[in-house]
């Protein structure tokens, strides 16, 4: 049995018979076998996830990512589980529109807190793009020196600072420099002078990428395909109908399912008067389809919540400053919305991660083009 096992290891390149009866084991024998065992476990987990979903896929289409993927993956979650005892790492199995099944580990659980089995997500490489504040600091530096007082003068001259809080605007840049100073990227000369290296932007971006080296996650829809097809809101399918040409959809697997769902969503819009079939067979959608669908869904949801709260609902208008207490959130097909209440009414406005820790607190924000520029903190007054 031992000789047969050695023969198997020899076929795997993990052992070699130099002379008859004398074998040498590869130094990487144990870690290699351990990795192969773990890979086998992962493949079985991926197969099990598909079987639970009533499907069966060729293991040759399985792709296991040991790190954040180099190119974005779009697909639906078919499995989601913690992979360490501390609950700090999450593993996702994603049925991709590219016809592959992807296993991605090391996910920050907070990034997919709202996603569930069936949700559509995008997993991409770590965000290494430089911050606008870093570009501003580098642009304001003269002979390698940044001066907050000079920046303040320029900001007042330009007059483009949100809420007119010029000092708070410059202070935010100084706080960024303080954080980078602790990592040796910038040097404080005195209270009004900072030494900025020539490669400041690249080093700052590399610092952020190293600190946030996990995959970049976007939840495209918390609703599965079936719920999106009949939704009265603006869905991920709608954005694909108006934007993507479908060339990224595989003719099999989830890619095929998405194409079928888009066709059914076509018919839904035609039946509800949001689209019309042209003589040449093409579909013409109503103008501003996405904003119109979102407004319709928010109005319906607001009225449903009003009946439960016994508090009138009011739709926020573009350009309006919304103030009140953040009392909760509502997950719609159009996205996640914050519930902002006053004593006599409440409204629904698009949620953003910056208000995550503001539950139960007073918030204020300006509604602009389907989004909200949140202004947190009396002294800062910055659009976030």
What's the pLDDT tens digit per position in 196-209? 999 998 888 877 76
Mean pLDDT of 166-194: 89
**What pLDDT does residue 384 have?**
41
Cα 128 from Cα 193, distance rounded (Å): 27
Which of the residue ranges 31-35, 177-181, 211-215, 379-383 has the most confident prediction, judged by mean pLDDT? 177-181
Mean pLDDT of 144-166: 85
| pLDDT-derived band at 273, boundaries 50, 70, 90 | very high
CATH level 2 (architecture), domain 132-211:
Orthogonal Bundle (1.10)
Q: Which phi and psi angles does 163 have, rounded to 5°?
A: 65, 5
Mean pLDDT of 357-384: 72
**What pLDDT does residue 380 have?**
40
Mean pLDDT of 214-226: 89
**What pLDDT does residue 379 have?**
38
pLDDT in tens, 111-138: 888 899 999 999 988 766 667 889 999 9
- Given a cut of 70, whether residue 190 has pLDDT beyond it is yes
pLDDT in tens, 41-56: 889 989 998 988 888 8
Residues 205-239: b if buried by 16+ CB within 10 A, e if exposed: bebbeeeeebbbbebbbbbbbeebbebbbbbbbbe
Which of the residue ranges 2-16, 153-167, 228-242 has the most confident prediction, judged by mean pLDDT? 228-242
Structure tokens at 7: 């023969």
Percent of all residues in the chain with a pLDDT value above 70, rounded to a whole number: 93
- Given a cut of 80, whether residue 84 has pLDDT beyond it is no
Residues 71-84: b if buried by 16+ CB within 10 A, e if exposed: eebbbbbbbbeeee
Which of the residue ranges 21-30, 173-182, 336-345 has the most confident prediction, judged by mean pLDDT? 336-345
- Given a cut of 50, whether residue 269 has pLDDT beyond it is yes
DSSP string, 248-293: TS-SSHHHHHHHHHHHHHHHHHHHTTSEEE-TTS-EEEPTTHHHHH
User: What residues does each domain of the chain span?
Assistant: 32-117, 132-211, 223-286, 291-374
Structure tokens at 64: 């296991």
| pLDDT-derived band at 378, boundaries 50, 70, 90 | very low
Model-level pTM?
0.70
| pLDDT-derived band at 352, boundaries 50, 70, 90 | confident
| pLDDT-derived band at 292, boundaries 50, 70, 90 | very high
**What pLDDT does residue 117 have?**
93
- Given a cut of 70, whether residue 85 has pLDDT beyond it is no
Cα 175 from Cα 167, distance rounded (Å): 12
């Amino acid at each position: 049995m031992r000789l047969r096992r050695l023969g198997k290891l020899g076929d795997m390149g993990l052992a070699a018979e130099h002379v008859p009866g004398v074998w040498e084991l590869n130094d990487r024998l144990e870690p290699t076998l351990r990795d192969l065992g773990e890979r086998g476990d992962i493949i079985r987990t991926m197969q099990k996830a598909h079987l639970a979903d009533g499907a069966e896929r060729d293991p040759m289409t399985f792709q296991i990512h040991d790190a954040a993927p180099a190119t974005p993956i779009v697909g639906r979650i078919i499995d989601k589980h913690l992979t360490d005892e501390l609950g700090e790492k999450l593993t996702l199995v994603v049925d991709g529109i590219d016809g592959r099944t992807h296993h991605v580990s090391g996910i920050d659980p907070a990034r997919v807190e709202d996603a569930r089995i069936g949700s559509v997500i995008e997993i991409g490489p770590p965000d290494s793009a430089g911050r606008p504040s870093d570009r501003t600091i580098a642009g304001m530096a003269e002979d390698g020196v940044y001066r907050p007082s000079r920046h303040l003068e320029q900001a007042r001259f330009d007059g483009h600072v949100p809420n007119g809080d010029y000092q708070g605007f410059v202070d935010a840049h100084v706080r960024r420099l303080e954080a980078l100073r602790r990592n040796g990227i910038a040097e404080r000369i005195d209270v009004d002078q900072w030494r900025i290296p020539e490669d400041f932007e690249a080093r700052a971006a590399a610092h952020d990428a190293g600190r946030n080296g996990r995959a970049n996650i976007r939840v495209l829809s918390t609703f599965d395909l079936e719920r999106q097809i009949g939704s009265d809101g603006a869905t991920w399918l709608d954005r694909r109908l108006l934007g993507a040409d479908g060339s990224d959809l595989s003719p099999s697997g989830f890619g095929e399912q998405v194409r079928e769902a888009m066709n059914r969503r076509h018919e839904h819009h035609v039946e509800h008067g949001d689209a019309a079939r042209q003589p040449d067979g093409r579909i013409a959608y109503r103008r501003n389809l996405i904003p119109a669908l979102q407004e319709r869904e928010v109005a319906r949801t607001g009225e449903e919540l009003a009946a439960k709260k016994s508090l009138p609902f009011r739709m926020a208008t573009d350009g309006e400053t919304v103030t009140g207490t953040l009392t909760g959130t509502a997950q719609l097909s159009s996205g996640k919305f914050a519930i902002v209440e006053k004593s006599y009414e409440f409204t629904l406005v698009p949620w953003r991660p910056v208000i995550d820790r503001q539950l139960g607190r007073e918030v204020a924000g300006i509604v602009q083009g389907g989004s909200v520029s949140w202004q947190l903190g009396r002294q800062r007054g910055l659009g976030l």
